[in-house]
Structure 1
C-alpha cells in the first residue's frame, strides 16, 4: 500500500518559502475565497431563509457546527496535500484502492446534472428580474458561458474572477441584512429569536442544516487550488489554515446575513420558502417591504451566488474527474500536470462533458429520477472523504506536524457520522421515490 508521506513522485518544482508576517500571509490567500465562492450557493440561501422563516435566528448554532465541521474537512484535505505532495484522489487510493473508482462514478453522475440545475436557478433569478427573457434558452447560455470561462481561464484568472464573485455577493447580502435591520418594525425580534433551540421532531432538518453549509465537490477539490498556488511544504501550513479559516468565516457571515433577512421578512408572518421557486417568489414581497432597489439587489445577489457556484463547481468537478482518470490509469504524480491540469486534454474534455450534459438535461426538463440519483450520489462523497482522511492522517509514518491531533480526530469522526447519517436518509428517500 502506498505511503502518503512519500514525495518521490512529486513534480520537481522549486517552491517559494511561505511569508511569515500577517500582511504577507493575507496577500497570498486565494484558494479559500475560491472555495467560499463555489460552496455558498442557492441551497445555502434557501436553507437559511427557510430556517429563519420557521425559527428565526435560533438555528444559527447548527450553521456554526456545520461551518466548523466543513473547516475541519477542508483543513485536513489541504494538510494531506502538504504532507504528501499527492493529489487528493492519489492519496485516497492509499486508503482504499476502490476509492478512485467510486469518486469517478460519483463525480460523473454529479457532473451530469450539476450544470443544468444551477444554470436553471440562475436563469430563474434573471427572468424574475427581466420577465421578457426566456427561461430555458437563458439557462443554456449561462451554462455554456460558465463552461467557457473554465475552459479558457488559467488558475490566476479563475481565482480573480471567483474572488470578485465572492466579494460582490457578500456585499450584496450584507447590504440586504443592514436594510432589513433598519426597516423592520421591531428589531428586537432578531435578538429574541437568537436563543438556541432544538426543534422537537425535526432532528433530520437540523442535521440537514448542519450538513448543508458549504459545498461537497469544493471541499474535495481544495487541494487542487492549493497546488496551483505552489504551496508545498511545512512552512505553508499556517497559510493554508488561515486561508481555509477565511473561507468559512466568510461563509458563516454570509449565512448569518441571509438568516437576518429571512427573520426580518418571514419569521412570524406565515410566509415560507419551499424551494428555488419560492426563493425567487420572495423578491416581490421583499420589494414591497424594503423597496424596489432591495428587490433588484436580492435577485442580483441570488444570481451571483448561483453563477459563482456554477463556475467553481465546473472547475472542481473537472479536476476530480481528470485526476480520478489519471490515478486509475497509473500515471505518476510527476506527470500530473499533463493529465489533469487546466490545459490538459482530459480536463478540457470533462469541461465539454459538463457543458453538453447541461444543455441536454436542461432541454430534457431534468427528469425526477435523475435528480434523485444525483442527490443520493452526492450525499456519499463527504462520509467517504472524512473516513479516508481519518485513516490517512493518523498513520504513524506521517510526520507530527501533519498528523491528526485529538481535535481533528473528533471533528473528522463527527463529520463521518453526521454525513453518513444524512447519506442514509437521502438514499432511503431516493429509493422510496424511484
Structure 2
C-alpha cells in the first residue's frame, strides 16, 4: 500500500508468514474470535435475551440476528483495517481525527473505573446464590484481583487458551440447559410457534436493546490487538480473519438462541420477567423447581463463567486500548510499540493495576449511582465513533482494493453508525434524567 497524506505509513516489520493453504490448517490457527466471544458474551446478553423471551418468546430472534450481523461487520472491519495498514485501531483512528485517540483514552479510562467492580459483583452474586454462606463484597474483591492477575502475568497464548476454555464451558452449559428445557416443557412446540417475527408496538427500546446488546464494546475495538498477537499480517490471512470473526459471532448467536429457549420455556406466558442481574440470579430458583437441582447448579455455574470470562477478557481489552491510546498520544513509533503496549509492557501492566485497584475501591464504595450512569453513557459512545471512523478509514483511495469497503460493508457500517448512535442518545437521555 502506498502512503497518502491522510493515512499513516504501513508498519515496517520482518517478512510476514502466510496463512495455511488447507482448510484444516486454517481451522487450527483460529483463536481471536473465540477470545472475543468469551469476552463479549456477558451477563448483559443473558439479561436482554431472557427478558425478550419472557415477553415475546422466540419472536425477537430476528433482532438478535441483526445485532450479530452488525457486530460481525464492525469486527471484520477492525481486523481488515489492521491487515490493510499494519496499525492498531487507535493508531489508525488518529489519521481519521486527531481528537479520536484522546476521546477513546478518556472513554476507556472511565469504563475501566467501574468495569471490574460491576462484573466482579455480578460474578460474586452468582457464587453467593449457589453458596449462601459466601460474603458478597469480599468474594467480589477476590474475583476482581484473580481476574486482573490472570491478565497481568499471562502471555497471549495462555490468555487465548483460558478464554477458549471459558467459552467452551459456558456454551456447553447453556446448550445442556436449553435441551433440558425443551425435554421438560409441556408443549415444546411453543418454542417453534413463537418464532414468528414480531415488531412490538410501543416497546422499541426492548428491540434496540436486543440489537445493541449482543456481543461487546471494548472487545470489538480490541480485536485487532488479538489478531496482531497471532501475527496475521499478510493478505492471505484475510479469509482466515473473516472466518475467525464468523466463528465468534456464530458461537455468540447460538449461545443467545439457547438462552432464549430457556427464557421461553421458563418465563414466556408466566408473567415473570428478568429485571437485571439480581433477577438473573433469582431465576435459578424457579429453574431448579422446574428442571431439578442439577439444572439450578448448572445455570448458576454458567452464569458465573459468563461473567468471569467477560471480566478477564474485558480487563485485557481495556488495558490494550488504554496503553495503545497512551502510546499513540505520546507519538511512540510502531517499531517500539511492543515495549509500550504489549501484554508484558509497563504501561499495560500499570493499567491492569489501575483496573484492579479501582475495582476494589468502587466495590467497597457501593458503586455510586452517578458513576454507574456515567460509565453506561460513556460506553455507549464507543461503537458509533468506531463505526464512523471505519467508514472513513476503509473507503480511502490509499487502501488496497482487497481491504477497501465494498457496498455491503458500507451499508452495514452505516447501519451500525445510525443504530448505535440512536442507542447512545437514548442512554445519554436516561443518564441526564438520572443525575
Q: TM-score range by the shorter chain?
A: over 0.9
- Contact 1:5–1:83 (CA<8 Å) still a contact in 2? no
**Does residue 202 in structure 1 map to residue 203 in structure 2?**
yes
Report the CA distance between 1:204 and its aligned residue: 2.1
- Contact 2:8–2:95 (CA<8 Å) still a contact in 1? no
Q: Partners of 1:145 and 1:295 in 2: how far apart? A: 25
**Does residue 388 in structure 1 map to residue 381 in structure 2?**
no
**Partner SS for 1:175:** helix
Q: Match for residue 9 of structure 2? A: 6
Runs of 4+ in 1 over 4 A off after TM superposition: none
- Contact 1:4–1:83 (CA<8 Å) still a contact in 2? no
Report the CA distance between 1:5 and its aligned residue: 6.4
- Contact 2:17–2:234 (CA<8 Å) still a contact in 1? no
**Does residue 164 in structure 1 map to residue 168 in structure 2?**
no
Q: Match for residue 257 of structure 2? A: 256
Q: Partners of 1:150 and 1:29 in 2: how far apart? A: 20
Question: What are the equivalent positions in structure 2 for 1:18-417 lying under 5 Å apart?
Answer: 18-417=19-418
Q: Partners of 1:338 and 1:202 in 2: how far apart? A: 49
Q: Partners of 2:20 and 2:69 in 1: how far apart? A: 26
Q: Partners of 2:207 and 2:316 in 1: how far apart? A: 30
TM-score if structure 2 supplies the norm length? 0.98
- Contact 2:151–2:316 (CA<8 Å) still a contact in 1? yes
| Alpha carbons of structure 1 residues 351 and 11: separation in structure 2 relative to 1, 3 Å | farther
TM-score if structure 1 supplies the norm length? 0.99
1:89-124 residue CA offsets vs partner (Å, 9 max, x unmatched): 000001000000000000000000000000000000
Q: Partners of 1:183 and 1:306 in 2: how far apart? A: 27
Q: CA RMSD in A?
A: 0.8
| Alpha carbons of structure 1 residues 2 and 127: separation in structure 2 relative to 1, 3 Å | farther
Q: Partners of 1:285 and 1:385 in 2: how far apart? A: 41
Q: Partners of 2:370 and 2:364 in 1: how far apart? A: 15
Q: Partners of 1:223 and 1:2 in 2: how far apart? A: 23
Q: Partners of 2:357 and 2:339 in 1: how far apart? A: 23
- Contact 2:52–2:206 (CA<8 Å) still a contact in 1? no
How many residues matched? 432
- Contact 1:5–1:397 (CA<8 Å) still a contact in 2? no
Q: Partners of 2:281 and 2:150 in 1: how far apart? A: 26
**Partner SS for 2:248:** helix
Q: Partners of 2:8 and 2:249 in 1: how far apart? A: 28
Q: Partners of 2:434 and 2:316 in 1: how far apart? A: 31
Report the CA distance between 1:11 and its aligned residue: 4.8
**Partner SS for 1:194:** coil
- Contact 2:151–2:159 (CA<8 Å) still a contact in 1? yes
Q: Partners of 1:58 and 1:179 in 2: how far apart? A: 21
**Partner SS for 1:232:** coil
Q: Partners of 1:158 and 1:340 in 2: how far apart? A: 16
| Alpha carbons of structure 1 residues 319 and 236: separation in structure 2 relative to 1, 3 Å | same
| Alpha carbons of structure 1 residues 90 and 331: separation in structure 2 relative to 1, 3 Å | same
Report the CA distance between 1:15 and its aligned residue: 2.1
